Structure 1
C-alpha cells in the first residue's frame, strides 16, 4: 500500500465538534439527546443545514429555515423511529419542540474555535516529514463578513491557523458538493492528483467515512474525545511518530 496523501475533516477532527454543541443545546433546553441531529439528517439534501454547506443560502435566511425545520412536529416521528432502531424505548408522547436556529448554530460552532492538540501536532509532524500531501476536506459555510466577533466565535482563527499547514483546502461551500456525496471524494482526489487508495481520510461522522471507504479510501474515525486513539491509527498507516513533541522521549 502506497499512501500519498492524508485528508482531514475540520469540525470534529482538527477542531472541536459541533455535535458537542448540539448536545449542550439539548441539555440547556431540556430536549431529548440526539433529537436535533436526527432532525437535521432527516431533512435530506434540501435541508437548511445541507444547503448552507453547499453555499446555496446565506446565514440570515439559514437561521430562519434551520429553526423552522427543526421545530416541525414531523421530527417527533423520525426521532421515535431512531430510538426504535437503536433498541431504546420510545415515549408515547414527545412535547412540541421549538428551536431557535441562530442560538443553536452559535452553540454548535463555538466548539470549532478550539484546535485539537493531538490532531494539530500530527498535522505539523506530517508536514515536517514532507512525505505526504496534506488536504482538508470540509463541509463548511460562508463566515459573516460584517461581524468579526461573530466570525471569531465560529472558529475563524482556528481555521486560518490550519490553512497554513494544508497543501489543499477543499470547501463544500465553494464547490457545491458536501460529504457524504461520493462526488466530493472524486473531486478531492482529482484536485490532489491521487487515486482513492492512495489516501487516508479522517472524519468524525460515520456516513462520511462509509462513503469515502466505499470510494476506495483508507479511513479513520475520530470519535469525540478520542483523537489520540485516531492519531495512533494514523501512525500505523504512515509509519511516523505523530504524537511526540519536538525534544520528547515519549
Structure 2
C-alpha cells in the first residue's frame, strides 16, 4: 500500500542540466562530460558536495571546482561558470502529476540544492517554483539541513517528517546513486529519464491515471 510519493526536484520536476553541461563543454572545447565526471569523483566530499551542504562559500567553490576539474580532466572549469547551467525548465506534465498525487498521497521533496542566491536572482522562475513547492507536505533542502543525498540520514528525515513507513513510499530521482539508499530502506524507486517514462511508472505503481 502506497502512503507517500517523494520526489527529487532537478531532473525530475525539471529538465536535466546535463544537456546544458554538454553544450557548454562543446562551446568551450572542454573534454566531453568533464563537468559530470568532476561532480561524480569523490562525490561525498568534493567541492560540489560541500557547496550543496553550505559548508563553503561561492568563491571557495569556484576555486575548488577549477582545481578538481583540472586534476581530473586536464582542463580548468570555473565553478561560477557551471552554476548558471543548473536551472532546467519545469516539466508541466510532471507538475500536473504531482498535483494529482498530492490529492491522494502524502508528498515530499528531497533536493540537493545550493545556498540562497548562489546562482543569482530569477524572480519569475522562483515564483513558479514556489507554486510547485507548496504542493509538497514536506521539503528538505540540502543547503538548509547540511546533509545531501545519497546520505541515508536525509531520507530518514523525510519519512519521519511525513510519518510513513519507507516500505510504503515511492521515490523518484534522475541519479542512480541517489536511488540506492531509498531502495535499501525499502522504498519503491523510479529512475527518471523523461517525464513520459516517469509518469508511466508512477501510474503503474500508484494505480492512478496521471497523464
Moved beyond 6 Å, runs of 4+: none
Counterpart CA distance in 2 for 1:240 and 1:102 is 42
Contact 2:171 2:190 in 1 (8 A): yes
TM-score between both structures, scaled by the size of structure 1: 0.78
Please show how residues 158-177 of structure 1 align to structure 2 within 5 Å: 158-177=128-147
Counterpart CA distance in 2 for 1:55 and 1:168 is 20
Pairing partner for 1:228 from 188, 196, 199: 196
Pairing partner for 2:78 from 97, 100, 109: 100
**Unaligned 5+ residue runs, structure 1?**
77-95, 244-250
Counterpart CA distance in 1 for 2:142 and 2:51 is 9
Please show how residues 73-222 of structure 1 align to structure 2 within 5 Å: 75-76=72-73, 96-107=74-85, 109-111=86-88, 114-127=89-102, 130-144=103-117, 150-152=120-122, 156-222=126-192
Shift, 1:153, TM fit: 8.1
TM-score between both structures, scaled by the size of structure 2: 0.92
Shift, 1:171, TM fit: 1.0
**Which residue in the other structure is 1:247 paired with?**
none
Contact 2:31 2:75 in 1 (8 A): no
Contact 1:143 1:154 in 2 (8 A): no
**Unaligned 5+ residue runs, structure 2?**
none
The number of residue pairs the alignment matches comes to: 211
